[in-house]
Amino acid sequence: GENVEQHPSTLSVQEGDSAVIKCTYSDSASNYFPWYKQELGKRPQLIIDIRSNVGEKKDQRIAVTLNKTAKHFSLHITETQPEDSAVYFCAANSNSGGSNYKLTFGKGTLLTVNP
């Protein structure tokens, strides 16, 4: 089955700096890679996703890059703000019986943005 590794497990940056979180996956058939933000005690919320037919996607201060050959994808947050502080999860879908619905999540990165 799919295996997703995420690094680092914790990341502390100063307000205004950039933050980068990296993930690798094992299933070469995976073609959908979402990133979720989860604040303490809250539900995971999708912040950006990318499909395998593109290498990069950007939405304001957030961007995701995908390298299918190397099987890794990264989240980039620029001009970080204290409200960006949360746990971020990467995920990859996996092919099961011809269906690509199942998501496998990384273990998460606790991002702290210091004012």
Partner 1 sequence: GAGVSQSPRYKVAKRGQDVALRCDPISGHVSLFWYQQALGQGPEFLTYFQNEAQLDKSGLPSDRFFAERPEGSVSTLKIQRTQQEDSAVYLCASSLVGSSGGGGNEQFFGPGTRLTVL
The distance of closest approach from Cβ of residue 12 to partner 1 in the complex, given in angstroms and rounded to an integer, is: 17
Q: How much is the CA Rg of the chain, to the nearest whole Å?
A: 14
Q: Could you give the dihedral angle defined by the CA atoms of residues 83, 39, 100 and 22, in that order, rounded to the nearest 10 degrees?
A: 60
The distance of closest approach from Cβ of residue 97 to partner 1 in the complex, given in angstroms and rounded to an integer, is: 8
Show contacts with partner 1 in window 10-39 (CB under 8 A): 31-32, 34, 36
Rounded alpha-carbon distances, angstroms, from residue 25 to 6, 52, 100? 9, 13, 15
The distance of closest approach from Cβ of residue 58 to partner 1 in the complex, given in angstroms and rounded to an integer, is: 18
Q: Given the rule CB under 8 A, which of 13-21, 56-64, 70-78, 89-97 is the region that contacts partner 1?
A: 89-97
From 15, 46, 56, 79, residue interacting with partner 1 (rule: CB under 8 A)? 46
Show contacts with partner 1 in window 96-115 (CB under 8 A): 96-108
For residues 33-56, one letter each, b for 16 or more C-beta atoms within 10 angstroms of the residue's C-beta and e for the rest, the string is bbbbbeeeeeebeebbebebeeee
Does 44 sit near partner 1 (CB under 8 A)?
A: yes
